């Protein structure tokens, strides 16, 4: 089973994502951007679902740093703000796809399946 990292500071959002993914993927959690960077460095993660707004280090900075170390790991940015500027920023730092919250189950699974 492939492993998806959920980088999410909010417990409810994390539980919802876990519920969506649990039958298809093994899930690990990072609670902020720095934890996401540290966990990605350790390896064993096949794809990252990255919340945009997180403490310590936000999703944009974490994506930028992870992609500079490992450009091939797919990163899907999750954000409550569906504005074009957010999407552009996310793409600029190297994220591969973009999902708006609240996350739709089928959409989420189909996006992940495109990469892993």
By the criterion CB under 5 A, which residues form the site for Mg ion?
9, 51, 53-54
Q: Is the peptide bond prior to 102 cis by the omega test (within 30 degrees of 0)?
A: yes
Q: In angstroms, what is the minimal distance from the CB of 73 to Mg ion?
A: 20
Q: Which residues of 74-88 are buried (b: 16+ CB within 10 A; e: fewer)?
A: bbbbbbeeeeeebbe
Q: Which is nearer to Mg ion, 6 or 24 (CB)?
A: 6
Q: In angstroms, what is the minimal distance from the CB of 84 to Mg ion?
A: 20
Q: In angstroms, what is the minimal distance from the CB of 13 to Mg ion?
A: 7
Q: Which is nearer to Mg ion, 24 or 28 (CB)?
A: 28
Measured in degrees and rounded to the nearest 5, phi and psi for residue 72 equal -90, -10
């Amino acid at each position: 089973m492939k492993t998806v990292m959920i980088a999410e500071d909010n417990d409810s959002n994390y539980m919802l994502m876990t519920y969506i993914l649990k039958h298809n993927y093994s899930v690990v959690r990072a609670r902020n951007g720095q934890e996401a960077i540290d966990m990605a460095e350790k390896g064993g993660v096949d794809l990252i679902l990255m919340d945009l707004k997180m403490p310590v280090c936000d999703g944009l900075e974490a994506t930028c740093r992870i992609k500079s170390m490992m450009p091939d790991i797919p990163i899907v940015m999750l954000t409550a703000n569906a504005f074009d500027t957010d999407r552009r920023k996310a793409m600029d730092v190297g994220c591969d796809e973009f999902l708006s919250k609240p996350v739709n189950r089928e959409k989420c699974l189909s996006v992940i399946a495109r990469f892993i």
